[in-house]
Structure 1
Amino acid sequence: MKTWLFLLFAFLIPAFVFAQKNVIPASQIPALNLKLPEGSKQDKRFLSTVAAASLLETEVGDPNVSISEVEVYMLPPTPQSGFDAEVLVGELEKSGFEILPTEDDRIAWLVKGQTAYLIYFSMDKAETNFYLGKSNTVPKPTQSQQVQQGVPTSPQPTVPAYIPPLPPSRSSTSPSVNQQAPAPNPPASSLSPAQNPSSNSSLPKTPVAPFTGFQFTTSNFDDGWISSIQSDWVLAQKGETKVYLFFVLPYRSENFSGTGVMDRDFYWDNHVAPTFNTTTKAYQDGGEFVSSMQPKYVEGWGLDPQTGQRRFLGMYLTVSPNAAMLTVASTVDENSMRQIFPKASDRWTSDLVAMSRYNKFAIGPNDLNGTWQSGGSQMTQWYDSFTGAYAGATIASSSATFFFTGPTYSSIHNGATGAVGAMNTFQQEYKGNSTISNWTITLTNRYLGKTQQFDAHFQAVKGGRLLYLNNGAGEEYLLVKIR
C-alpha cells in the first residue's frame, strides 16, 4: 500500500480575514471619476482599509485634518495594464483635479473646489496599489507644491506598499510565526475596567485616543499594569516603566532579501528612532553572527515622546506574513530594562513579545450591537512518498457571523471540509438571548439547546476593535465588526 507523505507546508489564511467576496472586481473609482484598467479589484475588507488609512494618516501632520471613506484598489502590474503615473495624472486632470505632491512621491493630494482626497499610488512588480481617503478639509499648498504638479512615480523603501491584514500573533491565543509564544493572558477575573483614565493619578499621562462607540479605553490589571488605547499603539504602564504595543505595520520581505537591509534596523530607523528621538543603537545578539539567527531586537537611548525625559528603549519586531508588530519598552535606565525584562532579546521567549497580552479591554453592555464576522481556511497538499507525484489537496474552511441586538443574538456558522472537488459543507444557525458582562458573554440556545458562556474581550486595532470569544470547548473566534 502506498504511503502518503504530508508535505511540511500548509497555506494558512488568518481567521479574521474577511471572505474573498469582499475583494471584488472594479472598473472605476466613482469618487474620482477614474476608469480603471481591466482586471482591477477593490479590497473592501475592514482590516485592509484600516491599514490603508493608517498609511495615509502618517502623511498628515495636522491634528485638525482627518482622513475618512478610505478605499483600497489593486490594479494589474503596469507592464500588463499600461496604467502608469503619467496615465493617472492625465486622467485626474481631465476630471478637474489639482494635484499637490508631497515629500513621498507615491502620495499626493487631489483638490477640486472644496473637496480633497489623499492618494497613494505605487507601481510594484506584482501589482499596482492605489489607496484614497477623503479629507475633512482642503490642504493649503506649500511653496514647493505651488510650483510642482505630479503624483507618485517610483517606489521607495521607506513605507512598504502592501497593506496586510492584522496578523495572528496579536491574538492572545495564537503564537507568532517565529514561534515566540506570549505568556498566558491574565484571567478575566483579575481585570477591572476603568472608564475614566484621567481620574487615576497612576494612569499614563498620554492622552487617550477618542475611539468612539466603545465604553472602555483603559484596563487595570491586578499585577499593576495599566493599559490605555492611544492613536498609534496600546500603552501599558507600570510605575516608571512603559511598553508601547504598536498597531500592525506593513511588512514586505522583498525589502530585506538580498538588499543588505535587516528588518529590525528598518523598523527601528523608520518608526522607533523618529518617535523617541533616539541617540544610540545597539544589539544583544549573544555572539550570533548569522543574521537569520539573530533576534529581531534593538535597543538604545532616546526621549519619552510625552515628557521629553531620557529613557532606555528596547524594541522587539515580530513578523507574520506581510505584517510587522513592534513592541517597545521604555525604562528609566539600562539596569531597569535588564531587571524588568531579562529575556527582552530572547529569540524564542522574549519578555517584550509576551506583553501583547495587555492589549485587552472590557466590553460594555452596548458595545456589541451590530454584525461581527470572522472566517478562514487551511489547505494541505499531499504527495506520494515513493514517486513524488502530486496526490491532491484537502481543505477546511469556516466562517462565523454574529448579530447582536440588545439582549438578543443570532449566529450563522458555515464550513466546508474534504478533498478539493469533493467538499462536504455545513451550516448551523442559532438564535437566543445574550447576557453581556465586562469579560464574559452568555448565549442561550446554542448546540442542543444548551447555554454557553464565552470568555470575551476586545483587542484594539488602528481605528477600531476586534472581538475575541472562547467558550473553552472548541469554539474560539476573533471577529471584526462589519456593520
Structure 2
Amino acid sequence: MKNTFLVLLYVLTTLSSYSQKGTYDMVDYTLPAVGSWTKDEKNSFVTFTHINAQNNWCQIIIYKATASAGTIDADFNAEWNDLTAKDLSITSGPKRSPVKKTGQWTSVIADGKAVFDGLDMFIRHQVVTGFGNRVSIIGKTNSSKFLSVIGQVNNSVRLRNPSAASTAAGVNGNRSPVKEPLTNATGKEASVKFQFENTNWDDGWITTSSENWAAVTKGNIRALIHYPNKQADAYHSVLKQGLQNAWDLLVAPRYSNIRNYELKPVQSFESIAFAEADATEKLTGSQVHIVLFKKHFSNGNGRYIEFITTDKRAYEQEFGAYHNDEFGWDKVSNMQNRNRFAVAATDLAGKWSGSDYASLSYYYVNSGGFAGATATSISNEFTFFNTGKYESDHAGASGVVGNQKFARQVYKGDFTVNNWDMELKNRFEGASEKYSCYFEAVKGGRILIMIDRQGSVLSLVRQNK
C-alpha cells in the first residue's frame, strides 16, 4: 500500500510558451508549446511542470544517468520500482510498449495509473539504456489530454554518448521519487513515512492518506474523511451555523460555480450534519455533486466526510437519499471507519504515548453545595525498538480528589505485529497480551490505535525524538 506525500512545487524558473529545447545530463529533449513550463532542478533530476487554467497539470521529470543492470528488462524493473511504484498507489500497469533500439541505445515505455489525492493520475515511464548507463524520463498528469504532450517529449528524447569520464558507476545524487504538483496544497511534507500508504478493502474501496484528509475511492465515487480541524469542529449551539462554518472552511475553497446549495441538518441525540450542492471542481474542471456529512457521535469522534460524485443520482444510488430522520445513516457514517491503515514493525520504532482522564462531581441534594469530586487519570507510554523489543510504562491515579491513590506498572519483552494484529510478551504475570491495531491518519502523521481483547482502546501519538 503506497501513496505519495504531495507537495506544492515552488516556481523557480518559468519557460516561455513556445517549444523549448534543452539538455540535462545525457538527455537532449524538447518541451512542446502548450503554455509556460515551470522548471525545478535538483541534485539528480529536473522537473518541468505545466498547469493550465482548468488546473489540469502535466509534469516531466528527467533523471541523471545511473549504472545499468545489464539488460533493458532489469533496468526498467529497477527504475519503475524505485522511481514510480515505490511511493505511489499504483492502480494499473505497467503496460509496456515493444522494446526500441536506436544505435547503441535501447528504450522501453510503459503506461500506468495511480491514485493521486483520490483522483486518477496517468503515468508514462520511459527507460533508456546503453553504454553501461540507464536513464529515466517520466511523465505524469491528472488529465488524459496531456498524454499526447508526454508522448511528444518521449519522441524528442535523444541520448548523448557518454565520455569515459562521465560513464556512470553508481547513482548520481539522491534519486528520490518526485512529488506531484498540487495547486491547493500547503507545501508541507510529512517527515515520517509509513510502509502502508493505502488500504484495499474487500468490497472494492481504496483508502489513501493525503495532507488534509483520507481519501476513500471506488470507481467515480470519492469520500474525503477530513482530519480533525479545530475551527471546523468548533461547537455551535445552532447546528446549521456549525455546518455552514464547516462547509466554508473545508469544502467551498476548492470549488467554483456552486449551485443548488442546501443545508439540511437533523437535530437529535446524535445530530446529523448534511449539506449538498452541485459545483465545478477547481482541480479537475469537472462538474460534480458534493455532500458534506457528519454524525455528531456522543463520544465526540464524528468526522466530517465530503462525498464527491458525478451527480446527485450517483450519490443516492450508493448511499441512499436524504431523509429527515436521525436513523438510517449507518452506511454514510461508517465511511469514517475507513481511515485505517495496517501497521508494520518498522513503523513503530520510537516512543508512543496517550492519556485518559475522567471526573465526577458531587453536590448536596438539599443545599446544592459542592460535596467533592472523584477523578481517574491514566497515562500509557510504549517504546518500540527495531530489535523486536518493547518497553511500556503505565501510571494512574484514582479516588477522591486530594486523596487519590497512585499506581504504576512497567513491562518489558518481545513484540510482534502483523498488519492488523499485535502481540506483546511478558505482560501481567508474565502472560502475553494480544491487540487489534491500526493507524488512523491525521494531519502531519498518524495515531496508533491498540484495542485489547476486552475492548479497551489505547490511542497513542508518536513522541518527538
Identify the residue that residue 199 of structure 1 maps to in structure 2: 90
Instruction: Specify which of 367, 370, 373 is matched with residue 393 of structure 1.
Output: 373
What's the offset of the Cα at 1:239? 1.1
User: Distance between the aligned counterparts of 2:269 and 2:452, measured in 1?
Assistant: 39
Q: Which amino acid aligns with 2:289?
A: F
Q: Which moved more, 1:412-421 or 1:267-276?
A: 267-276
1:215 paired with 2:195, answer yes
1:64 paired with 2:39, answer no
Structure 1 residues 462 and 431: CA distance shift in structure 2, 3 A: same
Identify the residue that residue 74 of structure 2 maps to in structure 1: none
Unaligned runs of 5+ in 1: 1-60, 66-193
**What does 1:75-90 align with in structure 2 at a 5 Å threshold?**
none
Residues 232, 250 of structure 2: 8 Å contact kept = no
Residues 371, 481 of structure 1: 8 Å contact kept = yes
Identify the residue that residue 17 of structure 1 maps to in structure 2: none
User: Distance between the aligned counterparts of 1:237 and 1:311, measured in 2?
Assistant: 15
Identify the residue that residue 115 of structure 1 maps to in structure 2: none
Deviation readout 1:382-434 (Å, 9 max, x if unpaired): 12334433221110110000010120001000111111111111101110001
User: Distance between the aligned counterparts of 1:401 and 1:446, measured in 2?
Assistant: 14
**What does 1:127-146 align with in structure 2 at a 5 Å threshold?**
none
Instruction: Specify which of 374, 378, 403 is matched with residue 358 of structure 2.
Output: 378
Deviation readout 1:354-384 (Å, 9 max, x if unpaired): 2111100011221100000001200111123
Residues 254, 283 of structure 2: 8 Å contact kept = no
Deviation readout 1:96-120 (Å, 9 max, x if unpaired): xxxxxxxxxxxxxxxxxxxxxxxxx
1:471 paired with 2:447, answer no
1:274 paired with 2:246, answer no
Residues 442, 451 of structure 1: 8 Å contact kept = yes
Residues 262, 275 of structure 2: 8 Å contact kept = yes
Residues 236, 244 of structure 1: 8 Å contact kept = yes
Deviation readout 1:319-377 (Å, 9 max, x if unpaired): 68999842100112111211211266654553433211110001122110000000120
Structure 1 residues 234 and 255: CA distance shift in structure 2, 3 A: closer
What's the offset of the Cα at 1:242? 0.4
Identify the residue that residue 311 of structure 1 maps to in structure 2: 288
- Secondary structure of the structure 2 residue equivalent to 1:363: coil
User: Distance between the aligned counterparts of 2:433 and 2:310, measured in 1?
Assistant: 46
User: Distance between the aligned counterparts of 1:480 and 1:460, measured in 2?
Assistant: 11
**What does 1:226-375 align with in structure 2 at a 5 Å threshold?**
226-251=206-231, 256=236, 262-283=241-262, 285=264, 295-317=272-294, 325-342=303-320, 347=326, 350=329, 351-375=331-355
User: Distance between the aligned counterparts of 2:116 and 2:405, measured in 1?
Assistant: 54
Structure (1 or 2) with the greater strand fraction = 2
Structure 1 residues 221 and 393: CA distance shift in structure 2, 3 A: same
- Structure of greater Rg: 2
Q: Which amino acid aligns with 1:263?
A: G
Residues 232, 249 of structure 2: 8 Å contact kept = no
Q: Which amino acid aligns with 2:292?
A: M
Alpha-carbon RMSD across the aligned residues, in angstroms, is 3.4
Instruction: Specify which of 443, 453, 457 is matched with residue 434 of structure 2.
Output: 453
TM-score when scaled to structure 2? 0.56
Residues 195, 218 of structure 1: 8 Å contact kept = no
Instruction: Specify which of 394, 405, 414 is matched with residue 433 of structure 1.
Output: 414
What's the offset of the Cα at 1:263? 1.5
What's the offset of the Cα at 1:216? 1.3
Aligned residues: 292
User: Distance between the aligned counterparts of 1:322 and 1:252, measured in 2?
Assistant: 14
Deviation readout 1:51-105 (Å, 9 max, x if unpaired): xxxxxxxxxx96439xxxxxxxxxxxxxxxxxxxxxxxxxxxxxxxxxxxxxxxx
What's the offset of the Cα at 1:317? 3.8
Q: Which amino acid aligns with 1:335?
A: R
Deviation readout 1:138-169 (Å, 9 max, x if unpaired): xxxxxxxxxxxxxxxxxxxxxxxxxxxxxxxx
User: Distance between the aligned counterparts of 1:278 and 1:298, measured in 2?
Assistant: 16
User: Distance between the aligned counterparts of 2:232 and 2:283, measured in 1?
Assistant: 31
Q: Which amino acid aligns with 1:307?
A: T
Greater RCO structure (CA 8 Å; 6+ sep): 1
User: Distance between the aligned counterparts of 1:452 and 1:292, measured in 2?
Assistant: 36
Q: Which amino acid aligns with 1:275?
A: R
Unaligned runs of 5+ in 2: 1-6, 12-84, 93-112, 122-178, 181-188
Q: Which amino acid aligns with 2:213?
A: W
User: Distance between the aligned counterparts of 2:411 and 2:364, measured in 1?
Assistant: 42
User: Distance between the aligned counterparts of 1:398 and 1:255, measured in 2?
Assistant: 27
Structure 1 residues 255 and 425: CA distance shift in structure 2, 3 A: closer
Residues 250, 322 of structure 1: 8 Å contact kept = no
